[in-house]
Structure 1
Amino acid sequence: MDENPGLSDQYRMASPWPLFVALGLPIAELGLLFGIIPLAVGGVLLFGGSIAGMVTESGYASTAWRALAVVALFAMALGAALVYADPATEVALAPRGYATVGAGLLMLLAGVAGELFDYESEIAA
């Protein structure tokens, strides 16, 4: 009896996305914790792009561009919540919120531009 029925050598066995999620999340957290804005934005971009890639690879989204736009909306909502909560806390949350909103805006722009200019998916359809 075969212990892996239905699998063959033509299918990839491992996904590259968990590695990038594992790198993106701590980079974003370090940048947000210590207020290093470029590091925070880069980490959020890496984390969000990896999540969009995982969602697309697993078949929950038709294109990575749409998944990236949805992840961007979540990032912008989180950043807006941090900016809104800033006056009620002793810790300065506004710069961290602005960094998260900025990264979300960059992801949203990339998702919209990718969806508009992705000619390969139009040819395949």
Structure 2
Amino acid sequence: MEEQPGLSDQYRTASPWPVFVALGLVLSEIGVFIGLFPVAVFGLILFGGSIAGILTESGYVTRPWPTMVGVGVVLALIAAGLAVAYVPISSITVANIGNGPVLTRLVAVAVAGVVMVAMGGVGSVMEQTKV
């Protein structure tokens, strides 16, 4: 009797990351396009974290933290660029964040980017201090 019937040594075990990439992409699109702030932020963080995980698992990068920081910076820059291009500067105040649909969605993308940068930075610091 084999311990793992049906599997041979030539096949690697299945990776869970593609499921999380797809789930993060779906949740982020639902959150951004429908305007559900927490769903958008969670979906984008799940998507970016899964990208970092899949790149680390496949050996393209050695640590996931710089990838998370990079994806977070890209998200924040995209949100800031779209805000400058499509939202009048006079309407960008803290009081107006929940009022305009475009601004609220861009804030969700920017918040997800900032959270990912913070997660990547904290993860990198924690990894370096671990002895």
* Bin of the TM-score, shorter chain as denominator length: 0.7 to 0.9
Structure with more relative contact order (C-alpha pairs < 8 Å, separation 6 or more):
2
SS in 2 for 1:14: coil
Q: Who is 2:115 aligned against?
A: 106
SS in 1 for 2:87: helix
Q: Which amino acid aligns with 1:98?
A: V
Deviation at 1:105, TM superposition (A): 0.4
Q: Who is 1:27 aligned against?
A: 27
RMSD: 2.3
**TM score, norm. by length of structure 2:** 0.76
- Cα deviation 1:11-43 (Å, max 9, x = unaligned): 743211100011011110111011111110000
Aligned residues: 113
**TM score, norm. by length of structure 1:** 0.80
Unmatched 5+ stretches in structure 1: 1-6
Could you say which structure has the larger radius of gyration? 2
Residues of 2 paired with 1:54 and 1:68: CA distance?
11
Q: Who is 1:116 aligned against?
A: 125
Residues of 1 paired with 2:36 and 2:27: CA distance?
10
Residue 76 of structure 1 contacts residue 105 of structure 1 at CA under 8 Å; is this kept in 2? yes
Q: Which amino acid aligns with 2:56?
A: T
Q: After the TM superposition, which segments of 4 or more aligned residues of structure 1 sit over 2 Å from their partners?
A: 85-88
Residues of 2 paired with 1:84 and 1:56: CA distance?
34
- Cα deviation 1:41-93 (Å, max 9, x = unaligned): 000001010011111112121201111111111111121122123238xx842
Q: Which amino acid aligns with 1:82?
A: L
Question: Taking every aligned residue pair, what percent have the same amino acid on both sides?
Answer: 40
